[in-house]
């Protein structure tokens, strides 16, 4: 799977060692940029994607389709591209142009990795982003920003590679995955593994579409909120009750979300990124905090069912206790965990404030 | 699938018309009883099962295995079998001895119904219970008690057949299913439908085990609480991370719950009972409330993720607004929705109080 139309590729021709063992002989990183890097190379903002997103965070002349943070990135917006040089990479082990299961394995077989792609951690994904900063000759980014899995990556870089960023904006993330959240992600992986089309990950062009669809439907229930579903969808059946068809409005919505995943996502990537999130643990053994600690801006949403706001509060308090500068904002949105992906004025303002609207980078 | 060892069978040889159209030429009801019916036939308590339970609510000489309400039914317990004649039937469309997809279709083919079994409603299931009361020559039960789907049946009988019960004890139920809950049940049905072994419901002895397992795993996440999972299971991986094996403790638990469902439950029953719950709506058009209204005892659990306590509060308030006598109790339990299935002293006391410990039936 190639990156989105406007993606550039940074080909990094060095062996990339992985946290869980093994290595990749090289990595290619798909990324897009907006705005101009200043002479001091000090105005870079790294925007990092959540689980299913790619490097197309915003539209451009080359690719005018709306990006996933179109409402936050742009001239005069929270992440102001008249002021900042914004860089968004696709994720390692994903399926949007950066090295992953759909890439050619240059050493072993010269076929695609497919089910042979190794397991990765959030730490690996974060180090891959740093290789891109290296390639762009940027020593220290002004900030890194992300929501959900993007928040995990941002925290990982902020805590373990603190000299590479000055500010960390992490919305709806967590310091470490709880069993209750791992239980949810387990369901999605199970759906893919149970699909006979999965074939241990070696499925060529005929992937486990049913499993991937169901995995996304499970996710959608947790990405959104109870309140949204009850307010938005009809309570009465919209059709004659039936087992195989859609009896309720909300079923159509879930089916639609599931179907949208097919064709734009790869099951092997799904499994690896999902497990990477489960393994996310900023305090795991063997990792050391960076001696240079950036400023943290932690946001959480009251209605979040996937990584509840208690986790962002605990994270913020742990940062303060460790002596870091941390600012916390609590938001409310019927959208729940996914609130950072929709237009939300207070979240936009929080990001803008975190980036210091009045300061020069 | 036969009923549990101690089940008796009431064979009702009359056509049973179904709410959604069609009929069954006859129904057989598997049930168990404990205690003695008094001379006035006034001390019957109907205990009705939740989704996956059967008529074995308590052990007996014939079947000493613990029943699903062993902790609440017995001499001196909340439902005192020295005082009451307790009757528990298996559910219509289920797979525990009462007519369902595994029963022989006596008219059409003389084969099992399987995927040809019609859709049922909670109203149908409730009317089937009333046929059992008829067969036992009991005009009015002293009470009906149930949790979750059992609460739905209890409410259905209390509101639409009010002269058949004096008291309704409904724990963790709802007046009508919300879209957010229908979304959750949709996931479970989807898992079964996606399993190629489902074969449109005509799978003989080789049912969709993988689908049924996953459906149960999805359910388990919502039956229990976030707090329970986070307190009970290890946060660290318990094994080398792997996609197909169990990396986290909580995954073993879910897998175990899923596996337990296979062999003791039928996928066609799962689908029909699941959809019946989605269609549950005490206020639906065409139903009239009974002119005789029993007393209601509504319980809810703060940690419930499937039918949140707001729904029991709304139900209680609607009952009061309609002029009915309703008592409400709020419980707390890390177990969440399933709290009524475990030993919980306050729930036991609530049931005992509802049944009037000091009064003679």
Average pLDDT over residues B94-105: 97
Question: Where does the pLDDT of residue B236 fall: very low under 50, low under 70, confident under 90, or very high at 90 and above?
Answer: very high
Helices (H), B281-342: 309-321
Q: What end-to-end distance do the CA atoms of chain B give, in Å?
A: 36
The helix (run of H) or strand (run of E) holding residue B329 is strand B326-331
B124 near A CB under 8 A: no
Asked if the C-beta of A334 comes within 8 angstroms of chain B's C-beta atoms, the answer is no
SS3 state of residue B95: coil
Query: What does pLDDT average to over chain B?
Result: 95
B164 and B269 both lie in a single domain: no
pLDDT at residue B48 is higher than 60: yes
Q: Tell me whether residue A142 is in a domain.
A: yes
Partners of B176 in beta bridges: B281
pLDDT band, residue B265 (cuts 50/70/90): very high
Tokens of B262: 């296979």
If asked whether residues B260 and B336 sit together in one domain, one would say no
pLDDT surpassing 80 at residue B353: yes
Q: Does A221 touch chain B (CB under 8 A)?
A: yes
Give residue-wise pLDDT tens across range A4-36: 999 999 999 999 999 999 999 999 999 999 999
Of B246, B276, B306, the position where a domain reaches its end is B276
**Cβ distance of A221 and B187 shorter than 8 Å:** yes
- Residue B361 maps to a domain: no
- 3-class secondary structure, B324: coil
Task: Indicate whether B296 belongs to any domain.
Answer: yes
Both tokens of residue A311? 């986790």
A20–B242 C-beta distance less than 8 A: no
Residue A79, beta-bridge partner list:
A73
SS3 B265: strand
Q: Are residues A74 and A124 in the same domain?
A: yes
Question: Is the CB of residue A250 less than 8 Å from the CB of residue A221?
Answer: no
**Residue B361 above 60 pLDDT?**
no
The residues in B 163-182 lying below 8 A from A, measured between CB atoms, are 176-180, 182
**Mutation test of the interface with chain B: which of A250, A287, A305, choosing the one with the most B Cβ atoms within 10 A?**
A250
% of chain B at pLDDT higher than 90: 91
Collect all residues of chain B within an 8 Å Cβ-Cβ radius of residue A119.
241-243
* Residues A294 and A207 reside in one and the same domain: no
| Domain final position from B208, B243, B276 | B276
Annotation marks residue B304 as catalytic: yes
pLDDT at A68: 98
3-state SS class at B296 = strand
Q: What number is the average pLDDT over the span B12-17?
A: 97
Q: Please report, for the domain that includes residue A314, its CATH number.
A: 3.40.50.1820
| Kind plus residue range of the DSSP H or E element containing A299 | strand A295-301
- B347 with B247, same domain: the answer is no
Which tens digits make up the pLDDT trace of B156-198? 999 999 999 999 999 999 999 999 999 999 999 999 999 999 9
Task: Specify the number of domains making up chain A.
Answer: 2
Same domain membership, residue B167 and residue B24: yes
Domain that holds residue A287: 8-179+280-354
Least confident of A211-225, A251-265, A285-299: A285-299
| Residue A112: inside a domain | yes
Band (pLDDT 50/70/90 cuts) for residue A293 is confident
* Mean pLDDT estimate for chain A: 95
Taking the CA of residue B163 and the nearest CA in chain A, the distance in Å comes to: 28
**Angle at which helices A209-223 and A179-194 cross, to 10°:** 160
With 70 as the cut, is the pLDDT of residue A359 above it?
Answer: no
The answer to whether residues B21 and B149 belong to one domain is: yes
Query: Domain holding B253: CATH number?
Result: 1.10.1740.110
* Predicted local distance difference test score (pLDDT) of residue B108: 73
End position of a domain, from candidates B254, B276, B298:
B276
B55 Cβ neighbours under 8 A, 6+ residues apart: B3, B4, B7, B30, B31, B32, B49, B88, B89, B90, B96, B97, B98
Residue B263 pLDDT: 87
Sign of CA dihedral B4, B10, B16, B19: negative
Q: What is the CA radius of gyration of chain B?
A: 20
pLDDT band at B292, cuts 50/70/90? Answer: confident
pLDDT of residue B2: 79
Q: What is the pLDDT of residue B244?
A: 86
CB B338 within 8 A of CB B290: no
Give the model's pLDDT for residue A357: 67
Binning pLDDT at 50, 70 and 90, where does residue B287 land?
low
Same domain, B140 and B159: yes
A360 in any annotated domain: no
B27/B112 same-domain check: yes
Residue B2 within any structural domain of the chain: no
pLDDT at B110: 76
How far apart are alpha carbons A43 and B325 in whole angstroms?
Answer: 67
Average pLDDT over residues A253-258: 96
**In a domain? residue B211:** yes
| 8 Å CB contact between B46 and B143 | yes
Size of interface A-B (CB pairs under 8 A): 141
Tens of pLDDT along A311-327? 999 999 999 998 999 99
Q: Which residue's structure tokens are 């409400």?
A: B328
CA dist., res. A254 & res. B183, Å (int) = 8
Note the pLDDT of residue B358: 55
User: Does B360 have pLDDT greater than 60?
Assistant: no
Q: Could you tell me if B211 lies within 8 Å of chain A, comparing CB atoms?
A: yes
Reported as a pLDDT band with limits 50, 70 and 90, residue A109 is: confident
Contact A279 B235 (CB under 8 A): no
Among the partner residues A241, A250, A278, nearest to B275 by beta-carbon distance: A241
Each residue's pLDDT tens digit, A118-177: 999 999 999 999 999 999 999 999 999 999 999 999 999 999 999 999 999 999 999 999
Statement to judge: residues A43 and A103 lie in one domain: yes
Instruction: Verify that A108 and A244 share a domain, yes or no.
Output: no
Q: What is the mean pLDDT of residues A232-241?
A: 94
Per-residue confidence (pLDDT) for residue A4, from 0 to 100: 94
Do both A152 and A244 map to the same domain?
no
Checking if the pLDDT of A299 tops 90, the result is: yes
| A358 pLDDT above the threshold of 60 | no
- Is the pLDDT at A51 greater than 90? The verdict is yes
Whole-angstrom distance, CA of residue A261 vs CA of residue A245: 20
Q: Residue B184 in 3-state DSSP?
A: helix
How many Cα neighbours within 13 Å face the side chain of B201?
A: 19
Looking at residue B357, what is its pLDDT? 67
Identify the residue with better confidence: B19 or B263.
Answer: B19
Angle at CA A307, nearest 5°, toward A304 and A310?
A: 85
| Residue B225 falls inside a structural domain | yes
On whether any CB of chain B is under 8 Å from the CB of A105, the answer is: no
- Residue in B28, B52, B148, B172 annotated catalytic: B148
Instruction: Find the length of chain B.
Output: 361
Our answer to whether residue B344 is catalytic in this structure is: no
Residue A210, pLDDT > 90, answer yes
Q: Which residue in A has a C-alpha nearest to residue B252's C-alpha? A: A183
């Amino acid at each position: 799977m190639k990156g989105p139309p406007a993606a550039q590729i940074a080909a990094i021709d060095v062996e990339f060692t992985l946290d869980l063992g093994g290595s990749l002989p090289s990595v290619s990183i798909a990324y897009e940029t907006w705005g101009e890097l200043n002479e001091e190379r000090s105005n870079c903002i790294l925007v990092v994607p959540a689980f299913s997103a790619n490097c197309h965070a915003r539209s451009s002349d080359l690719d005018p389709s709306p990006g996933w943070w179109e409402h936050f990135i742009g001239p005069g917006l929270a992440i102001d591209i008249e002021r900042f040089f914004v860089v968004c990479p696709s994720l390692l082990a994903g399926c949007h142009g950066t090295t992953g299961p759909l890439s050619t394995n240059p050493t072993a077989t010269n076929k695609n990795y497919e089910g042979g792609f190794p397991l990765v951690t959030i730490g690996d994904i974060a180090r891959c982003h740093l290789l891109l900063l290296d390639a762009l000759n940027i020593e220290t980014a002004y900030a890194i920003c992300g929501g959900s899995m993007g928040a995990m990556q941002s925290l990982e870089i902020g805590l373990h590679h603190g000299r590479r960023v000055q500010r960390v904006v992490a919305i709806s993330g967590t310091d470490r995955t709880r069993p209750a959240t791992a239980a949810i992600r387990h369901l999605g992986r199970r759906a893919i593994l149970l699909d006979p089309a999965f074939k241990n990950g070696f499925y060529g062009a005929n992937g486990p579409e049913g499993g991937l669809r169901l995995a996304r439907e499970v996710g959608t229930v947790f990405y959104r909120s109870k309140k949204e579903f009850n307010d938005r969808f009809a309570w009465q059946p919209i059709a004659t009750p039936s087992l195989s068809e859609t009896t309720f409005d909300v079923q159509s919505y879930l089916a639609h979300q599931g179907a949208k995943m097919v064709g734009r996502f790869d099951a092997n990537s799904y499994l690896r990124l999902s497990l990477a999130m489960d393994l996310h643990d900023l305090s795991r053994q063997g990792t050391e905090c960076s001696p240079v600690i950036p400023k943290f801006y932690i946001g959480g949403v009251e209605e979040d069912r996937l990584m509840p706001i208690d986790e962002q509060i605990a994270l913020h308090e742990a940062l303060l206790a460790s002596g870091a500068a941390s600012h916390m904002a609590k938001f409310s949105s019927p959208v729940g965990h996914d609130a950072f992906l929709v237009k939300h004025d207070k979240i936009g303002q929080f990001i803008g404030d975190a980036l210091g609207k009045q300061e020069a980078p």
